[in-house]
Amino acid sequence: MRFTYLPSGGASYVTSQGDVLDLIAFNFYGDHPGNTERLYAANRDLALVPQPYAAGITILLPPPAPRKPAAQIQLWD
């Protein structure tokens, strides 16, 4: 997959025949919770387009949300 990176930190992507949103999200965001939902929020019309996608659909990928730091456990006082 080839993304066109934008100054905002996001990207755009033009689909190839057979692409699905989950895989596009994973390839751009990695294993980040809520990535598919972020794509649908930025591209509301995609909910109406059947998957797998046809070639030539432009999808806007918003910048990744900041990751929350992992909880730290203190073993001793």
- Let me know if 39 is exposed, middle or buried by CB neighbors in 10 A (0-12, 13-18, 19+): buried
Whether 11 is covered by a domain: the verdict is: yes
pLDDT of residue 23: 92
| pLDDT grade for 73, boundaries at 50, 70 and 90 | confident
Domain that holds residue 50: 4-61
> For position 45, what pLDDT does the model report?
92
pLDDT tens sequence across 15-70: 999 999 989 999 998 887 788 888 889 999 998 999 999 999 999 999 987 777 77
User: pTM of the predicted model, to two decimals?
Assistant: 0.79
User: What is the tally of structural domains in the chain?
Assistant: 1
CATH number of residue 49's parent domain: 3.10.350
